[in-house]
Structure 1
Amino acid sequence: MSTSKIFPVYKVKLKLAIQDPDMPSPRYHTILFVQTNAQTPGSGIKHHVTGDIVTGMHYEAAEYHDPETDENFFSKELIGHTRALNYPKNWNDILKSIPAPPKQKAFNKVTMRTEPVKSWDPVAFYEPGEPRRPLVKCTEWIEDQAIPTLINAGLIQ
């Protein structure tokens, strides 16, 4: 019986064109990259959430070439390996089941700024100096939800 083929799994960070003034800087767009093709250096599939926290985000998996050639490349960290058997189906099934970051900001007509929302029905904004819930974006989704869920499911070793 032969050993199952494995693919390396990386956490990749890409520079952002604009930083969010409501979050500590610097921030990066964080993705999971599975290198599925050893013949074409660095090509594979990226798994991430896209969109923004004004309209809400959604999960996406897409072909991706060598992250290190991306003009916005910042870093690439090997976090483990995944088995080729049933990849990417099992990954997509699990990652689609993790809620993507929802709407968390709206335009405040009083301050004329897009700001974090305290509550949605009715829409209420935080007062100056009032403690705020942390905002959740791609980095938090990848690091706090996607990676632990994939590890617990045995899909990242």
Structure 2
Amino acid sequence: MKNKLFFILTVLLTIFAFTSNTFAQDYTRWGLPEGAKARLGKGYNREIAYSPDGSKLAVASSIGVWIYDAQTGEELDLYVGTVNSVAFSPDGRTLASRSYDRTIRLWDAATGEEKRILKGHAGTVNSVAFSPDGRTLASGSGDRTIRLWD
């Protein structure tokens, strides 16, 4: 009896573990709390960032990164894959994203086109930040280094 119960619990836990992340759901428009204008993002949202002029909103999630028009909520798909954080350049034209794959991706914030992939960290990239003039991107990693990129 104990073996049968253990088997059933194991199967149920396995099914639950795989379905929670495998089948990402889009809750963009329905079930909004009172006073909310929109629900953005898909999967488990990890970080959000407004563009410097406030016209765009980037959402990093467990299944990708998206840029939204902050007024209309119109969505621009960018990258599918786990993304941990995002940062806009000071002019708002470039979006940087970081992931567990030890890379930093640079995107054209207007078109969603991937402009460049920065590789060099030996560990997970934990943070990214643009310099005030937008010419340099700093990244910090679990490999205990900070890199400056042109």
TM-score greater than 0.5 by the shorter chain: no
Please classify the TM superposition score into its range, dividing by the shorter chain length.
Answer: under 0.3
Higher relative contact order (CA 8 A, sep 6+): 1
